[in-house]
Amino acid sequence: MDNETLKAIRERRSCRQYKPQQITPEELRTVLEAGTWAATGKGLQDPWIVAVQDPTEVVKLVTMNATIMGTSDNPYYGAPTIVLVFASRPEQWKNGMADGSLVLGNMMLAAHSIGLASCWINREREMFDTPEGRELLQHYGLPDNLMGVGALALGYPAVPPREPKPRKKDYWRVI
């Protein structure tokens, strides 16, 4: 069996080199809306999505993430848009991390389907557990009890996607 969705799943790759050109508002809206259609536990729609395109704000996020990573490199690979996903902490909602992960997955597939590139970025949990991160949550107008789930580097690819790695042998079982 095959269709456009299955093709997108097979073809999507993480991108680590972006053109500096900003994506269009329509492209951004399409990706963000795809995130809102992710499955969530009990249909609670617990995650929150914040798209950051302001260059000054992007630099803040790059600096915070690079500091935690222990590097001076840009952990978002120069993408002009950073999409952050937050969710409730486990003590408030045990499925927050899983729900936010599904949001990120939906957005990566949507981005690929419209010709954008993305890469899942980590360390947002650590970033937003800092005093500076807590201030940013307030700046974004979000509840203060959230944790960072992850982020997407999002933009136009500067290089073609790599070839996929072969799938590991015996990846799945039917019992």
Q: Distance between CA 65 and CA 126 in Å, rounded?
A: 8
Distance CA 54, CA 21 (A): 13
What is the average per-residue pLDDT within 139-160?
96
- The domains of the chain, with CATH numbers, are 19-155 (3.40.109.10)
> Does residue 94 surpass a pLDDT of 90?
yes
pTM of the model: 0.96
Q: How confident is the model at residue 144 (pLDDT cuts 50, 70, 90)?
A: confident
- CA atoms of 89 and 92, how far apart (whole Å): 5
Band (146; pLDDT cuts 50, 70, 90) = very high
